[in-house]
Amino acid sequence: MLKYYMLALLVLLDLSSYSKCILEYEIINAKKLILKNKLKKLFPEREPGAACIIMQDDKIIFEEYFGLKFLPIGPKIDKNTTFNIASVSKQFTAVGVLQLP
């Protein structure tokens, strides 16, 4: 009889961890939706846009593209869009040089 109680307890514990995973998954999806809506407001469909990619543990957990490559009627930004980084790389180079022994 004790075996059955232990088995029932293990099943309940397993189900609770399963429901916890589902709840965490739903929370993550809700956060993704909130982020996507905020980015849509920030980068409207017919204006210059951006690419947003969030990674965790070498896996992409959020990937969305917003706006246009070129104005006024350029193609939409997509996975293959390249962005000019202007003078941003100078700061990274300076930090790298300063860290040299």
Name residue 10's amino acid: L
pLDDT tier at 13, thresholds 50, 70, 90: very low
Q: Retrieve residue 64's tokens.
A: 């969305």
Residue 8 has pLDDT above 60, yes or no: no
Instruction: Share the mean pLDDT of the chain.
Output: 76
pLDDT tier at 98, thresholds 50, 70, 90: very high
Residue 81 CA to its chain's centroid (Å) = 18
Report the percent of the chain where pLDDT is more than 70. 76
Q: Retrieve residue 27's tokens.
A: 């929370």
Q: Retrieve residue 21's tokens.
A: 């995973």
pLDDT at 23: 63
Confidence (pTM): 0.57
